[in-house]
Structure 1
Amino acid sequence: PDAAVPNLPFLHRALLLPLLSAASAASALLRLPVILSSSPLRSRRTLPVPVISVGNLTWGGNGKTPMVDFLARRFHAMGVSPLILTRHRSLLRDVEIVMVNGLTPWGNTHFIPRGPMREPLSALTRADIVVIHHADLACEAQLETIARTVQDSGTTCSVFFSKLAPSHIFEVHQPLQRLSLNVLDGMIVLCVSAIGCPDAFIHTVREISGIISTLSTLRSFFQL
């Protein structure tokens, strides 16, 4: 954290300035495509079907993939065949949904690569809906603070809350065969994940099995 900088050894503090300068330059380059795509001077393509955008302001762990899966399944159940695109900045969107991680909403508030932020909080003004994910794992005060930050950004969007509720598990070699969650009862489980918010995943597994083996978590620089 920035508050710990004065307590660092002199050599570390001497190296910090060039590193932060390099991080700022890299951050500006990474944000340039976002800034250009958001420019009112850039033309947007209009598709003959409604377009729903599901995005986030921070890097990973916001529940974007589960939300896209949820919406796609709902539309499919309604008889609508959704098309999922990964590049949408040039498209005119009918609805913009922004996912926020209820556990670590803005990280250390710095931009990539110094932190997890991809866009500033002011980008929330483009949102029609904000969904605070992992709401069941965050305390009420934390959720209220996030909701207040969203409102203070100047947006008039609706705020919703979401959580993950596992329904079944499957073996890697038999993905179509669904197994009941009860098969993990009393078992010692080793959690291995490569997702943006491993703490939420570990919590979910602990609720299912109750027993988790010793964990060694690698923290990214976003959490330093």
Structure 2
Amino acid sequence: MVNQRLRAAVVRIAKTADHETSSLLEKSLKPLLASASAIYRGLSFTRRFLYNYGLLEATRLPVPVVSVGNITWGGNGKTPMVETLSGWFLGAGICPLILTRGYAGGDEAQMLQMHLQGSCAKLGVGPNRANIARSFLQSHGMQSYQHRKKLGESLSLESAGTSSQLWMKGDGKIGVVILDDGMQHLPLARNLEIVMVNAITLWGNTRMVPRGPLRESLHQLKRADVLVLHHADLVAEESLDSTETMLKQFLRKDAIVICSSMIPLHLFGLPSLEAEIGSLRRTPEHSRLPLNTLRDSVVLSVSGVGCPEALSLALERLGAHHVERMDYLDHHSFRPKDLQDIDMRCLELQMRFEGRTVVIVLTEKDYVRDPLIWRTVTNAQVLILHSSLKLISTGKALAALRELLTAVVSCDVTKGSGGR
């Protein structure tokens, strides 16, 4: 309990400017966090220096590597972007190997495994991603440069791998590696650097962790080949324009800036999800609930994700009469006491909004951590929102992205080509 309070205080500090009012606990933590941030900044600089000047050597794999990372902690859309990239590659017949840490119980790895089940995509989980990649390449083989080059010509940003026929047309040999949360993983060289930025929260108080949310200095954005402004649809156009203008001082001139959003597709109830656990994508159509199920309802948004604001804003747009939030820390493991609190909040909402239906809505990421625990909720129906990442930029930006991805998967990595 004490640990949870401290973590929550650190998150609040990171999200708020110094001049804003703080609790006594937060005020006492700030000097300690500032000292820890200075140490982190020094270690980060030293580590990067060692790799930049060849004192530490990054492993280069015999297939192209696409890194998807972020510059701040949590809620930036890394995992949905990894899934979307996988769908594009699968649609072209290029089999991706996804390398992920499996952080905090591995909920993101479980999500990827569920959504890509039935495809030839492969998932390697663990901290030593270079060794894991070597093992997979040895076991499954790799697509040749000439074969990848031919397949790359058919790569489309429209095909998200939803067709089982497209997903299975690959030969099972690995053609590309996707490095999930890769920006800080320097031991593995990459041919393309995609950086995800949360358009809602941006940089918080602009300080380095743990005093702030930054995992890197903003100047490290110069490494980005592609920068994706995630949740861009939930931000006012003027604010988005201002952000894009500000980014120009950090990005290279040839960097591609893309906007993305999470598009709600449908809902699941607990029985259908449990019947299809491990294969949400292939759940029968009749077990899915339409989004208008939430219209005029009172919704309790329960989330343990990096950006709970995005979930509640999406629910409001779906026509909910009222959206109440119960936010937990990212990767939170829900316990029986949490479920009791959620049940009590549902009772309160039923009293406040007499005559209206009260429902609980979760993200899939929150559900997969412990599917069975949600069975203990008795005062409201539990629904899970299934969403998918969609790029919402202009055709010119998307064409540039497709051209870059095609060049990367078509490159001869043995000659050090690929990327920019």
TM-score normalised by the shorter chain: which range applies? 0.7 to 0.9
Distance 1:169 1:80 in 2: 30
Distance 1:187 1:32 in 2: 50
1:166 is aligned to: 264
Tell me how many residue pairs correspond in the alignment: 217
1:14-57 deviations in Å (ceiling 9; x for gaps) = x5674245433553477368636753323222212111100110
Query: Residues 89 and 141 of structure 1: is their aligned pair in 2 closer, same or farther, counting only changes over 3 Å?
Result: same
Query: Match for 1:107 among 204, 213, 227?
Result: 204
1:136-185 deviations in Å (ceiling 9; x for gaps) = 11112221222122210152211111111121222341343333323333
Task: Specify the SS of the correspondent of 2:197.
Answer: strand
Shift of 1:111: 0.9
Shift of 1:198: 0.5
Aligned AA for 1:56? N
Shift of 1:108: 0.6
Query: Residues 75 and 187 of structure 1: is their aligned pair in 2 closer, same or farther, counting only changes over 3 Å?
Result: same
Aligned AA for 2:73? W
Shift of 1:94: 1.0
1:43 is aligned to: 57
Query: Residues 36 and 199 of structure 1: is their aligned pair in 2 closer, same or farther, counting only changes over 3 Å?
Result: same
Distance 1:201 1:33 in 2: 38
1:153 is aligned to: 250
Partners of 2:303 and 2:328 within 8 A in 1 = no
Query: Match for 2:94 among 57, 66, 80?
Result: 80
Shift of 1:188: 2.7
Query: Residues 45 and 191 of structure 1: is their aligned pair in 2 closer, same or farther, counting only changes over 3 Å?
Result: same
1:136 is aligned to: 233
**Going by fraction, where is strand more abundant, 1 or 2?**
2
2:306 is aligned to: 196
Structure 1, unpaired ranges of 5+? none
1:42-93 deviations in Å (ceiling 9; x for gaps) = 3222212111100110001111111111111121122111111124532221
Distance 1:179 1:189 in 2: 15
Seq. identity, % = 42
Query: Residues 21 and 192 of structure 1: is their aligned pair in 2 closer, same or farther, counting only changes over 3 Å?
Result: closer
Shift of 1:122: 1.0
Which portions of structure 1, spanning 4 or more consecutive aligned residues, are displaced by more than 4 angstroms? Answer: 15-18, 216-220
Shift of 1:217: 4.2
Query: Residues 92 and 134 of structure 1: is their aligned pair in 2 closer, same or farther, counting only changes over 3 Å?
Result: same
Task: Specify the SS of the correspondent of 1:111.
Answer: coil
1:118 is aligned to: 215
2:188 is aligned to: 91
Task: Specify the SS of the correspondent of 2:257.
Answer: strand
Structure-2-length-normalised TM-score: 0.46
Query: Residues 179 and 142 of structure 1: is their aligned pair in 2 closer, same or farther, counting only changes over 3 Å?
Result: same
Distance 1:17 1:187 in 2: 41
Q: RMSD of the TM alignment (CA)?
A: 3.0
**Going by fraction, where is helix more abundant, 1 or 2?**
2
1:179 is aligned to: 289
Matched, 1:27 2:21: no
Distance 1:181 1:34 in 2: 47
Distance 1:206 1:26 in 2: 42
Aligned AA for 2:18? D
Query: Residues 173 and 37 of structure 1: is their aligned pair in 2 closer, same or farther, counting only changes over 3 Å?
Result: farther
Aligned AA for 1:191? S
Partners of 1:44 and 1:91 within 8 A in 2 = yes
Task: Specify the SS of the correspondent of 1:100.
Answer: strand
Bigger mean CA offset, 183-192 vs 17-26? 17-26
2:324 is aligned to: 214
